[in-house]
Amino acid sequence: MDGVVMSDTDSRNTQTPSSAPSFGEAAAYWLKLGFTSFGGPAGQIAMMQSECVDKRGWIGQGAFLRGLNYSMLLPGPEAQQLAAYIGWRLHGIKGCLFAGTAFIVPGMVLMIALAWIAAAQGDSSIVKALFEGVKPVVVAIIIHALWRIGSKACNTPLAIALAVAAFAAIKFAGVPFPVVVLCAGLLGMVLAGTGWGHLGGGAHGEDVEPVAAGALNPGAVAGRWVKVGAACLVVGIIPSAAVLAVFGTEPFADVIQLFTTAAFVTFGGAYAVLPYIADAGVNTYGWLTPPEMINGLALAETTPGPLILVTTYVGFFAGWKAAGFAFGVIAALLTTFVTFLPSFLFIIAGTPYIDALQAKAWARNALGAITAAVVGVIFNLAVFFGEAALVQGGEILWINGVAALAAFALLHSGRVGVPLMVVIGAVFGLITHLAM
């Protein structure tokens, strides 16, 4: 089957949109996104929806939602994987690699710099004030993103019910995210079989490209996964082995083991795996203290890129505690590398079959149901951020609440973009700190 061939053109198995950009134009956008992708996964997904679908028309709404569905099913950062997926659809493997890498590099560099400040300079009241001011803005960004995504994905009573049920299951019953996704997908399949309740992510099949017969041949699919998996294994082993040979095993062997494992169990996003990383970094290896871990999470929440870049912060502390700045940087780079490498494996190996799945009514309905459930998951994330930013010691921080409402109003009006809103929030935090 042609889908097994890993060329930049054949591997896409999709038609190129008439409005497809040049590689240079797309690269400029991915770099811009890497520097401005504040607000966590919900905000980042909304930014790609706005730019790549609504404004530029690079990818259709149905294809975008199918990519989002697939990314949500995978372990790892869904927003980064969605960027890699869009890059793959536009320019094949090179587009996937560039989009996925550009999405994380600016945040990684910033996290390394901030981790060094935290490790070398200790707590800075000014820096804390800046990030405190950004917190209510982040809440507004996520709520605004939730509104935009929910209005598109939850346009039937059944979809709304699924979103509400997903939120309740995670928030109040503690149901793991993978179980929520599995149940939503199974429900969508059952409903497709009964003919009741359309939930297709492509909205009645729109934007679904024709697929060749046998496109989902198990042997061909398995062959592609083996080839891509072997390539990723080689890519992962070479730099890891080089670091161990040149700099020794301490702390790099533990860094490779911990964060490679974490990369394959991050179903449900960064918050699903944070307890595992925090326990290992603080209690097992002693790389950080509990307050240092909390600071790292706060920095990851308020810097561009996926929230899982908190692992870069932890990796830096692992190297810093072992032998200072140089080891800190190397450990941070190695941590980021092994954390995100599996994401490229999943996108390059699996993306060619997303459209083929969408040719099946049961698959469209299953993935549409997952999209609706994911809206509830994002709402749970908004609640989590809201509690962290607007409530302290059981009391509501009214000034932060007013700031969040004002930020939401500005974002919803379209007069202020996310980057400027983040700057305004930082200034708000600084002014509030100086006035106290």
Q: Where are the alpha helices (DSSP H) in 202-289?
A: 218-247, 252-263, 270-279
Total-model pTM = 0.68
Domain residue limits, the chain: 19-436
Give the helix/strand (H/E) hosting 396: strand 395-396
- Do 271 and 286 touch, CB atoms closer than 8 A? no
Round to whole Å and give the CA distance between 125 and 337. 31
| pLDDT at position 273 | 67
Residues 6+ apart with CB under 8 A from 374: 68, 69, 72, 153, 166, 181
**Can you give the pLDDT at residue 198?**
59
So what's the pLDDT on residue 340?
93
CA angle, residues 27, 28, 31, in degrees to nearest 5: 85
pLDDT of residue 123: 59
Residues in Cβ contact with 134 at an 8 Å cutoff, skipping those fewer than 6 apart: 38, 302, 422, 425, 426, 429
pLDDT at 170 (0 to 100): 81
Q: What pLDDT is attached to residue 10?
A: 38
Rounded CA separation 171/272 (Å): 13
The answer to whether the Cα torsion of 370, 374, 375, 377 is positive or negative is positive
Q: Residue 98: what pLDDT?
A: 96
- Cβ proximity of 355 and 208 under 8 Å: yes
What pLDDT is attached to residue 200? 53
Q: At what angle do helices 78-121 and 23-36 cross, to 10 degrees?
A: 50
Peptide bond into 21 cis (omega under 30): no
10-residue stretch averages of pLDDT, the chain, 436 residues long: 33 50 91 82 82 87 84 82 93 93 92 86 70 79 78 82 90 78 84 61 42 59 88 91 89 90 71 72 84 74 81 92 89 94 90 72 74 80 76 83 90 78 83 81
**Cα–Cα distance between 268 and 104 in angstroms, integer?**
19
Q: In the prediction, which pLDDT does 148 show? A: 76
